[in-house]
Structure formats: C-alpha cells, structure tokens
Structure 1
Amino acid sequence: MNFYSALKDMARTVLYRSGVLGAWHRRRNKQALTVLMFHRVLPAGSDALAQSEREFAFSVEGFGRTLDFVARHYSVIDLAQVKAAIDGQGELPDCPLLITFDDGWRDTVEFAMPELKKRGLPALLFLATEVLDLEQPRWWQDAAVAVLANPQTAPKLLQALGMPADASTQPGYTQRVAAKLAGMPEAQRRQVIQQADPQVLQRIDARQMVNVDDLSQWTDNGFELGGHGHSHSPIAYATDPRAEVLDCRSHLRALGLEDLSLSYPHGVKNDASRELLKEAGFEVLFDSNPCLANVANLPRQRFDVPRIHLPENAWTTRNGRIDPARLALYLFPRAVI
C-alpha cells in the first residue's frame, strides 16, 4: 500500500470510528430503502468457495461481519413490509434495509440461514424455479460460467452455440449465452457445455442448488421466497419470454406463494418483460440498479425497485476481512432515486 492509499485508509477508518459516517447516514438515508443482493455464502478454505465465481460469493465469516454491520446501521425489514409500504398500508422504519439472495444455491440454506437466524434477521430468496426439476449435481449456469472464464474453452462454447468468435467483446454477451443455453432442453444444454469442456460438469459432485426439502427449511424458519425467472435466462432475451414467466409463476404457486415478487435474472429487463410479469400477477419487481430507493417513490417504483450487489473484495475488505469503514463508503453514499 503506497502512502496516499494508506492515508485514504486512515481517513476512512477515522471517519467511521468517530461516528461521523454513521450520523451522516442516519440523516441522509433516513427515508431511503437499501436492498442488498447476495448469491453464495461458503466456508473459507472450502473447495466450493475456491471453485465459485468469487465476485458473487462470500465467506461465512465475511457474511457474518457484514450482517453485524447491517444490524448496527439499518432497520432490517422483510418483503411484506416493503409491499405494505408500496400499497400505502404501512410505514417503513428509519434506514430500512432488505436482504435478498438470488438463484437458489443450497449454501443459502446451509450456511447463510444460520448466520441470519443467529442475529434474528429476515431475508428473501429469489429462486430460479427450474433448479427444483434438475437432477445433476452441478448447475448448468455455474458450469457455463466456468467454461466462459477459460480462454481455451470459451471459444468452443461460442462456436457450439453458433455465436461469432468476437461475441465475447460485445456488452452483455454472457447474458446472451445464458439465454441460448436456457432455451434448450436440459440434456442438450449439458451436451453443448460438454462439447466445450468434457470434464466441467463432473468437477463438482455435490448438489449445488436447493430442492423442495431445502426450501421447506427456509420457509419453515420464517424466511421469504420470490422468483428469479424459471431457467435463469434473462427474460428479455428468452426464447419464449411468456413461458419463462408462466413457468416461474406456476412453480411458485405450487410452493404455496400467494403474493408474487421477482428479481430480474442477470438484472436484464425491458418494457416487454416488465409488462409480461405484471400481467402474470407479479406485484413487486427488483432490478440491479445499484441505488437506494426513496421511500416516498416506492409506489411508482414497485416494478423497478433498485438493488445493490455486495461483493467481498477490495471494495469492502481490508487485510482480507470485511471492513466496516469500507462497507460504509460502499453503501451510504449511493444515489437515492
């Protein structure tokens, strides 16, 4: 760390420990809803964490430290409170925050849930509902991400999908790859992935995604459930967007959900996908716009509630551990819309 970096780090720490940042946050964000987006939570040093897409994975210890920070500076609420505020049937507390998870990773139940329970914090899981129907241990999306991260195998996958070799230079190409794979039957999807890397699906032999029993544990412990599409294709790019929405809805209904919410898969949305979801009865939709929501604007934002992806990386850690001062400056100054 050079002199200027060390000076910035010292200033950040002093501002946080003195209470200045916290006091500023309490005034500035009193009527701003923060929605956090998590994906995976895994033990430090585990093979699963080492093999994960690290941008979207937390260590258990880092997740716990983040929850302690959240409990210190926010009023943690649930989806029911957000919906009541949107419908004009309730008010949110000062500095409200909603904790959400995407996809339906089994480690959300195995490792994140105990940390939430330990602190008495609510949370919401947005489920890509097709994972309940899949039997293979490794989720195809995780395998595809691994293939695309390897310069030797990525071109092979693009070729198998009929995409040009320079597709990887185009914005959003990974979402286009996901949509093409998601539109295939599962057997064909896995065959295409294995054409690019014959071993990638076999490198993980323990089931990654939740099953119905896992979801029962989640909901029996008082945690909430929403949708994240069906196949995890971006709805806007899906081969059949209507089927993607209706399949997600039917699975959520089968799980007993009456009030439907959803986070856009891959954060991709357009007017057509929003209208499809509204017509299907989804009442609150969350996107990936990394901002805070002005509580007064929530009724107008019910189909575009912003969420902030929170990583465990250089933005939020110091000396390899989650740092409250860095978390504060990552979250507190976000634009309020």
Structure 2
Amino acid sequence: MKDFSKKLLYASGLLGLYHRLRNAGSLTVVMFHRTLSPEDPRWRTCDPDYTLSTTYLSQSLAFFKRHYNVVSLQQVLEARRTGAALPARALLITFDDGWSDNADYALPELQRAGLPGLMFVVADAVGTQQPFFQERLISAWRRGLLRVDDLARAMAPALAEAWKPEDESMASLRKAIAHLEKIDARQRGEILGPYLQALDDGLRHMVDVGELNRLQAGGVALGLHGKTHTPMTLATDVDAELGGARAELARHLGQPVPNAESMSFPHGAHTPEIAERARQAGYELVFTSVPVLNPVAPQPGWLLGRTGFETDTVVDGKGRFRPDWLALYLFRKQARRLA
C-alpha cells in the first residue's frame, strides 16, 4: 500500500506541483560516479553501489529534463559572478573521480539528451589504469580473489582498536575499507602489498587526456577532486591537494596556467577551514557532499551542497526504474546556504 501511494502521488502530478512551487529558487546539484553498460567487462568488477547502468542513467536524465532546467557550470559561475538569474528549478549534473566510462557512456547519454555536465577529476589519476584502492579491493572481492577475514588479519596490527568482520559480505568489506582509510598511506601500502596481483583486473578504468578533451568538446566541464583522492581532513599537505591538483590538470591538458574554477572534496571530507582554503586557492565554486538544495537569490553561494545518486535511489528490487522514488528523494531536500 505504501509503495502504491508513492506511485499514485507521483502519477497524479501532486509531487511535481509541490516541487515547482517549493524549489523554484533552488539549485539542485546531483552527484554521479560511474555509469557502465552491463555488457562492458568493467561491469563485473565495479563497485555496484556507485555504478549506474546506462539505461538507468538515460532514464534519470529524462527525469531531470521533465522536472528541472539543467544548467552548465558556466551558468552557475555567471550567476555567482554577476547575479545573472538561473532558471527556475535549476539542476547541475556532476560526476566524481574521473572514470573513463564517463567518456564512454555518460557523455553520449548527455549528448543524446542535449544536457551539459561537470566532471571532478582526481589529477594524479589521469592516464592511470587501475582505480583507487577502495575500488580495487571491491573488484578483487567480487572476483573471488580476496577474503574479508584475510584482509582483517593483515591490517589488525595497524588498527587502534581490534576489529573482526561478522561475515564475508559486501557490508563487512566496506567496514574493512573504512578502517583502511584511517591508516597511514605507507602502512596501508604494506598491508595491501601481498594482494597487488589480485587487485589488478587488467582493465583501464581512469580517464586519459584524450578523453578529457573529448568530454570538454562534448559539453562536460572539468573541475578538480583533489590531487591524490586523499580526504582533505587526512591530507598531510592540504595546499598541495588544492593548488597541486589544478597545476597537474593544467599540465595534463597542456595549459600554461591552471584555470579550473571548481572543485569537490574527495569522500566529501572537509571542515569550514579547509573549505575556506579551497576558496583562497582560487576555486570560485566549492562542492561538498552535504545533501542540501542551494538557494540562488540574490546569487548562489560559493560553497554548495550536492545530493548523491546511487543505484538504490532509482531502482527497486525488481530492477525497475522508479521516478516516484527519485522525486521523493530529491524534491524534499532541505534548502540551505552553506556559506
């Protein structure tokens, strides 16, 4: 009955009316990561929670076109700089990390829909093959080459408090990864050293320079997502993660001067002080993972919230795309200026 009520509320148009009235003066920023075709060999090794199939991405873009006015990074920058009005119910589409599949699949879907986007790139990952250690662990586990209890034993000496996995589930693996993220990078490298062969699936996952150029030519702007993907709150040199990322991306693109105007925080990790340092480093728009809508009058703020977009946000247990779920998820977010 509850599920039927959601469908009815959306089909009746009442949710859409609520959204048009409530969110006319807000900028919604949605955050994607990967998108792949299930036929792509990378599909079987990816993180399933952060990877949307191309079909669901296409349906999501159609939802955005129906209920929002999708804007570009440049439009948001102009609104910030000059006070130029954004359209009612503005929405900005962003992608984190710099995955090559964004060029392979997200770009064509955006172009078919006639929509712009924004990719936040990890500067040091450009042109590399394997992804970040978190995704490589998930890949090895999905391929049956890694057990959570073995990983737990390997990292036990480096943990401040004892931890033992409950089972061999994805949930336990994510808890193990959360513990590893808190360990010094050098120690983490030693722990993962014996697994290096298992952690390499032989596929290329990260975007290269040619794909960056293709994304830009196709209407996807580029921002930064740190230099190394280290959470800013754990970085030993925050300024290197901020300014160093811009300089490295400029080097990749053959630009004499770094000109990236936007960035997002890896893992969403930041403090007010770190956000201000990003602003002082020259980023005009700084994006968080705080799931709020952003008021746009008299102009958008420089520190903006984003709403995560994961598979279970839009897909039910029967594999059906659920626009009613997506409407309830997005339309009711709190509107709040972060800075």
TM-score (norm 1): 0.86
Correspondence list, 1:104-119, <5 A: 104-119=98-113
Greater CA drift, 240-249 or 40-49: 40-49
Confirm or deny that 1:120 pairs with 2:114: yes
Correspondence list, 1:248-263, <5 A: 248-254=245-251, 255=253, 256=255, 258-263=259-264
What is the aligned partner in structure 1 of residue 51 from structure 2? Answer: 57
Q: Secondary structure at the match of 2:155?
A: helix
Q: 2:160 aligns with which of 164, 188, 213?
A: 164
Counterparts of 1:82 and 1:102, CA distance in 2: 18
Counterparts of 1:226 and 1:176, CA distance in 2: 29
Change (3 A) 1:45 1:259: closer
- One-letter identity of the residue aligned with 1:271: P
Equivalent pair of 1:29/1:95 in contact (CA under 8 Å):
yes
Equivalent pair of 1:227/1:248 in contact (CA under 8 Å):
yes
Change (3 A) 1:328 1:157: farther
Q: 2:235 aligns with which of 225, 234, 238?
A: 238
What is the aligned partner in structure 2 of residue 13 from structure 1? Answer: 7
Q: Secondary structure at the match of 1:93?
A: coil
Correspondence list, 1:64-79, <5 A: 64-79=58-73
Equivalent pair of 1:104/1:128 in contact (CA under 8 Å):
yes
Change (3 A) 1:69 1:152: same
Counterparts of 1:121 and 1:156, CA distance in 2: 48
Equivalent pair of 2:93/2:118 in contact (CA under 8 Å):
yes
Deviation string 1:285-323 (CA, Å, 9 cap, x unpaired) is 000011111112754x313x000001111x422321211
Structure 1 residue 140 displacement after superposition: 3.4
Equivalent pair of 2:159/2:179 in contact (CA under 8 Å):
no
Structure 1 residue 163 displacement after superposition: 2.7
Equivalent pair of 2:20/2:89 in contact (CA under 8 Å):
yes
What is the aligned partner in structure 2 of residue 22 from structure 1? Answer: 16
Change (3 A) 1:213 1:152: same
Counterparts of 1:95 and 1:138, CA distance in 2: 35
Equivalent pair of 1:175/1:234 in contact (CA under 8 Å):
no
Equivalent pair of 1:103/1:228 in contact (CA under 8 Å):
yes
Correspondence list, 1:271-290, <5 A: 271-290=272-291
Correspondence list, 1:64-213, <5 A: 64-132=58-126, 134=128, 136-145=129-138, 150-156=147-153, 158-159=155-156, 162-164=158-160, 166=162, 174=177, 177-178=180-181, 180=183, 183-184=185-186, 192-195=191-194, 197-202=195-200, 204-213=201-210
Q: 1:31 aligns with which of 11, 25, 35?
A: 25
Counterparts of 1:179 and 1:147, CA distance in 2: 21
What is the aligned partner in structure 2 of residue 214 from structure 1? Answer: 211
Equivalent pair of 1:179/1:234 in contact (CA under 8 Å):
no
In structure 2, list runs of 5 or more residues that go unmatched: 166-173
Equivalent pair of 1:107/1:208 in contact (CA under 8 Å):
yes
What is the aligned partner in structure 2 of residue 294 from structure 1? Answer: 295
Deviation string 1:156-178 (CA, Å, 9 cap, x unpaired) is 45347x23353689x99856734
Equivalent pair of 2:46/2:138 in contact (CA under 8 Å):
no
Q: 1:316 aligns with which of 310, 314, 317?
A: 314
Change (3 A) 1:130 1:297: farther
Equivalent pair of 2:94/2:118 in contact (CA under 8 Å):
yes
Counterparts of 1:312 and 1:54, CA distance in 2: 8
Q: Secondary structure at the match of 2:92?
A: strand
Change (3 A) 1:138 1:100: closer
Structure 1 residue 271 displacement after superposition: 2.8
Q: Secondary structure at the match of 2:27?
A: strand
What is the aligned partner in structure 2 of residue 269 from structure 1? Answer: 270
Q: Over aligned residue pairs, what C-alpha RMSD do you find?
A: 2.7
Deviation string 1:94-139 (CA, Å, 9 cap, x unpaired) is 10000000000100110111000001000000001111253x4454
Counterparts of 2:302 and 2:103, CA distance in 1: 27
Change (3 A) 1:154 1:324: same
Change (3 A) 1:49 1:248: same
Equivalent pair of 2:180/2:188 in contact (CA under 8 Å):
no
Q: Secondary structure at the match of 2:149?
A: coil
Equivalent pair of 2:155/2:191 in contact (CA under 8 Å):
no
- One-letter identity of the residue aligned with 2:31: M
In structure 1, list runs of 5 or more residues that go unmatched: 1-6
TM-score (norm 2): 0.85
- One-letter identity of the residue aligned with 1:330: Y
Equivalent pair of 2:130/2:136 in contact (CA under 8 Å):
no
Determine what percentage of the aligned residue pairs are the same residue: 33
